[in-house]
Amino acid sequence: MNRFFKSQLIRSMWPYFVLAFAVIITFHAVSEISVLWGFLSRVWGIIVPFFSGLIIAYILNMPCGAIQRLLKRTNNPIIVKRSRPLAVLILLIIVITLIVLFLNLVIPAVGRSISQFATEFDSYVQQLQDVIVWFNTLELPEFIPTLYLDDITEIIRGFVTDLDTGDLVTSIFAGVGGFAGGLFRTFLAIVSAIYFLTEMERLYAFTNRLLAAIFSEKNKATIMKYCGKLNFNFRQYIYVQTIDGVILGSLMTILLLIFRSPYALILGLMLGIVNYIPYFGSIFGTVIAAVVMAFTQGLGTALFASVFMFGLQQLDGNFIQPKLMGGSFSLSPLLVIISVTVGGAYGGILGMLVAIPIVALLKDILDSYIEYRELLKAEKAVISEDEPPDDGATWL
């Protein structure tokens, strides 16, 4: 039997067996794509809290590593030996302190803004009515329908009337269940992030051993090289977007305070946060700020302020952010838009955040491959030029 499997004929047939097996598996996977997709969705739903925890740990590992290096400089044997857990503990204390300060300083101001918005909600509705009346007075083409406030009100009332009580109760319970599930997943992500953060050095050592066991030294070096570039891209991106978000949010807050917006703090904070979404984030935040100003301070003030807000946004996108990037992500705007769109379609907000560093790495790999192929062709061209012409003569 062993001779049969070791025969030259069977050994030569193995690639065809493997190809046939791959075709069969691919055919069944495509025919049962809905079942496969449902299975993958369930698996992703299970592991997403741990994946989120890994992302949180990766971000927090940057300040944690700096704290650990400071602890090692003490040259105290006990502190040096326990530098990692001590660094994690110190970092957690700092993060909790910042959260408490944020809740005590920023949240009350945000709460006052929301309370003021709720108090003046009727006046904003009246302004919306005035806008509708003004819109209906315009001489617009016939294909643009006329807005009637009564019709809008009737649509809303009909929607509320058509709501089935049982469906409403079911929706409420589903919402409560979804909130509880989200809260549990958030808690699980935080706990797993702490464990990932504590075991980060061991995870790195285990990954290094695994790569050494599977791949050759050359392939391992190549993998580690590009993993290092991806790590650098993520670190640079997080650093740049954080600094840029602070700058843009602060400048927008000052600008809105100059225009005496009652929601300057909350709008500036929102602009700083959404700035993490590349290209679209700051534009979206600026539009929201302009809409809020239109309802709270009038259309004229909003339009006048929008000129300065979009000018500041363009200044940030074309000068401040590229200066901070330092050429690390030399991607064209079209590639950025495609990357963010695809990342958002498949990974939501998280996909938008990680799209740019990943695409930058893929572009780097593609550039390296193109350079390699060009060099290979150049070497072949040189060799062909050095070879003597094949004219049938004998060369000594």
Q: What is the torsional sign of CA 90, 92, 98, 103?
A: negative
Alpha-carbon dihedral sign for residues 283, 289, 295, 301: negative
What are residue 147's phi and psi, to 5 degrees? -90, 130
Query: SS3 of 261, please?
Result: coil
User: What whole-number distance in Å separates Cα of residue 307 and Cα of residue 310?
Assistant: 5
Q: What is the DSSP string of 92-116?
A: HHHHHHHHHHHHHHHHHHHHHHHHH
Taking the C-alpha atoms of residue 122 and residue 116, their distance in angstroms, rounded to an integer, is 11
Report DSSP letters for 5-35, one per residue: HHSHHHHHHHHHHHHHHHHHHHHHHHHTHHH
Element (H, E) at 318: none
Q: CA 297 to CA 48: how far, in whole Å?
A: 43
pTM exceeds 0.75 for this model: no
Token couple for 265: 């703090």
Single out the residue of 163, 141, 143, 159 nearest to residue 151, CA to CA. Answer: 159
SS3 396: coil
Q: How far is CA 173 from the centre of its chain?
A: 31
C-alpha closest to that of 343 among 240, 237, 200: 237
Q: What does each of the 396 residues of the chain score in pLDDT, given as a tens digit?
A: 555 555 565 566 666 677 777 777 777 666 666 666 777 777 777 887 888 888 888 888 888 888 888 988 888 888 888 888 898 899 999 988 988 887 777 677 667 666 766 676 667 666 666 766 666 666 655 555 555 555 555 555 555 555 555 555 566 666 666 677 777 888 888 888 888 888 888 888 888 888 888 888 888 888 888 888 888 888 888 888 888 888 888 888 888 888 888 778 888 888 888 887 766 777 888 888 888 887 777 777 888 888 888 888 778 777 777 676 655 566 666 777 777 777 777 767 777 777 788 888 888 888 888 888 888 888 777 776 666 555 554 433
Find out whether 224 and 85 touch, Cβ atoms under 8 Å.
no
Q: How far is it, in rounded angstroms, from Cα 89 to Cα 219?
A: 37
